[in-house]
Structure 1
């Protein structure tokens, strides 16, 4: 019995050490090999253009900023020509821009971040649950800490006549991604856990409409896009842009159909590389332009509101990709949807550098490239690169654990055999 306990304890210690080493190695990027080592913008873009040959990407627009200025842009297409004015759907990158609109209402004193959202709602209310709905606030919706368990994920609709009303979508989204519950409901205690929620941003969409008295699309155009001269950005489909929209592709290279969304704030922003570049100018305190959101309220969006595995992950509508110095982070958002859309926006507020990538036809190209841009500039694995490597990390932990157990069993067997021979 003592021998069994001794070997069991040894196995536990070795497996624990192995798990810690693999976790730290993944987190610190000890064995991560970025697709390029080039950090100078022109050479980095040239490396991206080479990397395109290894993956199917139907359409792409990319821009790299340095010291607050756009340095290099590049475009790729398998069909219709793409340029800086080509319109892309940007999936969940929409949340980042939508959050700026929400914070404008906070700045104007029309929304309070920390009061129960029910005081703003008349058209729809959270269904009764086992938890206190009064703890659901705008701050918690923006930071995905409101306790919502919808798991959305919106797939959109192929025909405009199928698009649900906001109220119907919040009650039960017909276009919920596979595996999503689709009901916007409080399923865990608000304020205790970061749980990514598309439904939370659809709830913010209806709050904006209630408070502003405008449709979400009209409010964003008036309060955010027009001041920033983002002339090709919109949430509600506009037929005038039909010929300007990038071609949609599935990941196998086949053409895909355009999708339409109820959940505009969460998933449906249409925009261009040229327009998104103006957001980087918005964040640059030295850039002279009309700014709908003050520097103080921008920085509020970039403060840590939620953690995972003990590390900051999210602010107010903003991913905190990695810390660059005390309480400052690479910020932005990514988007991913089907048919294959992948977008990425990363900004370093200290160096005033950034990267924007918009793609169709790939599930992860934009995120991988943007995460490697972060790694090259900071020598750190950002939050989404870590998430992409989790499967491989867990597999390595499991295989190593099994090898350790098998090794201990073999050692125990041979030692027992040697003892008998003596």
Structure 2
């Protein structure tokens, strides 16, 4: 089997058109091909490739926002994205909410390590059976170690009634997600839970006797200079006029423009890349002993590894890598990547209005790493390819379903240009290249499709290798639909 070599890429010598920033023509994929090791793309090319209508980027260099640009369209009628266009930030909301919770810890209104039941007034987390005597703390909630379920939220159409926090936590109508409950021993393992941040929101409201949106405006957003950000759900009219329309995975706009998230601390922030960049700068200032929303000790606690690669509300870089704190956001119709290198005070916030935008945000981040010489070069991997023969095409082309999730289906097809593509129902097409007679790989995502068993005219079983694991897919036979 051909080998995959990790390579560090030098700053590309690419000319940007007009006043376009250099990074905008320097995007690179997760995998680079041995046949085109220096290949770069423009943001516009990759937006078309992924079906992303709009992107906004803010770049931090030496604790200053030095670049804030929009690309493409914010709305169906073609309103262009600019630096002031607002996007749904999804789970990046958790970072800002964590800063708010830690600010309350600073003032003695909340405790990181006391059981939350002492400060909850209107609702209590059920603790039964083996968890009857378990303590759940704010530290557990912010580090995703409370053992709680409900990873994420679907949002609500703008014309539908919204549940209260108690209805969300109990999973009762009109809530559209299950009840938030303890399913693993608190404090023992990392288990991502948006439900834990709904509980954090309730804790903050109960403690301060304030609604979450104005509390966060006064505690974090205004002090950090985030003047174009809000947790208001639904959006007020003025904010709605600046909002980008979200795009579903099949390329269609969200009916009504976007969904509403009453789970504000978990997923309800609307923001701009520049505002998210300002928050990153504020946190770095705090780490360096300068005035910020958090004091230095609290900022250091936030960025300290608590469990796995997780601090208090932020992901932190693994041991042996340059220091970084970051988070991603993936509400319906939008994708966000936010990251900061505190030792050099460099970073970026990248926001898109499309379900298919996350891979694009990482390609932009690689271009920024090259252009601004970030501490982590974010190297791509080089893949040695083989010629795509008719035999290889015949072996892989067809429809498949995941063995353990039969409703999940995908196709491998021959494209008009002659290469192969991978597509999931309702999602965009991804290019595939051959690594050999029994393996295909996606340069965009790094996904590998490996035909198992003896070589044959048609593969009946494929292994899908992702960074997170392996799934087995079975060829769909005629009449099995």
Under a length normalisation based on structure 2, what TM-score does the superposition of the two structures give?
0.66
Any idea what SS the aligned residue of 1:361 has?
A: coil
Q: Which runs of 5+ in 2 are unaligned?
A: 15-19, 28-42, 381-442, 455-481
Q: Which residue of 1 aligns with 2:218?
A: 222
Of 252, 255, 264, 1:254 maps to 252
Residue aligned with 1:64, SS: strand
2:294 maps to: 293
Higher helix share: 1
After TM superposition, give the deviation of residue 280 of structure 1 in Å.
2.7
Q: Are residues 1:73 and 2:93 paired?
A: no
1:270 equivalent to 2:249? Answer no
8 Å contact 1:334–1:367 — kept in the other structure?
Answer: no
The answer to whether the 8 Å contact 2:134/2:186 transfers is no
Equivalent residue number for residue 3 of structure 1:
none
Structure 1 distance, partners of 2:292, 2:209, is 22
Structure 2 residue matching 1:332: 3-state secondary structure: strand
The equivalent residue for 1:306 is 307
Compute the displacement of 1:228 (Å). Answer: 2.2
Aligned 1:112-151 pairs, distance under 5 A: 112-129=111-128, 130-132=130-132, 134-150=134-150
By how many angstroms is 1:391 displaced? 8.4
Q: Name structure 1 gaps, 5 residues minimum.
A: 1-17, 308-312, 383-387, 404-422
- What does 1:22-421 correspond to in 2, within 5 Å? 30-31=5-6, 38=12, 42-48=21-27, 49=43, 50-78=45-73, 79-129=78-128, 130-132=130-132, 134-150=134-150, 152-159=151-158, 161-172=160-171, 182-236=178-232, 237-256=235-254, 257=256, 258-285=258-285, 291-307=292-308, 313-323=309-319, 329-338=323-332, 340-363=333-356, 364-369=358-363, 372=366, 377=374, 378-379=376-377, 392=447, 399=452
> Secondary structure of the equivalent of 2:57?
strand
Go from structure 1 to structure 2 and tell me whether the alpha carbon gap of 1:187 and 1:355 turns closer, same or farther (over 3 Å shift).
same
Corresponding residue of 1:4: none
2:248·2:354 contact (CA, 8 Å) conserved in 1?
Answer: yes
TM-score calculated relative to the size of structure 1? 0.75
Runs of 4+ deviating beyond 3 Å: 30-34, 36-42, 173-177, 286-290, 321-325, 370-377, 379-382, 388-393
1:174 positional shift: 5.8
| Alpha carbons 1:371, 1:381 under 8 Å: kept | no
Distance 1:390 1:321, change over 3 A: farther
Cα RMSD after superposing both structures: 3.3
Name the structure where strand makes up a greater proportion of residues: 2
Give the distance between the partners of 2:13 and 2:110, measured in 1 at CA. 41
Q: 1:281 to 1:255 in 2, by over 3 A?
A: same
SS at 2:24 equivalent: helix
Question: In the TM superposition, what is the alpha-carbon distance from 1:290 to its structure 2 partner?
Answer: 5.8
The Cα shift of 1:254 comes to: 1.9
Alignment partners' CA distance in 1, 2:215 and 2:270: 15
Question: How many residues matched?
Answer: 357
Q: CA deviation at 1:373?
A: 5.7
Q: 2-side partners of 1:389 and 1:32: how far apart?
A: 16
CA distance in 1, matches of 2:146, 2:98: 15
Superposition deviation, residue 72 in structure 1:
2.4
- SS of 1:52's equivalent? helix
Q: Deviation digits for residues 80-131 of structure 1, max 9, x if unmatched?
A: 2211111111111111111110110111111111111101112111123331
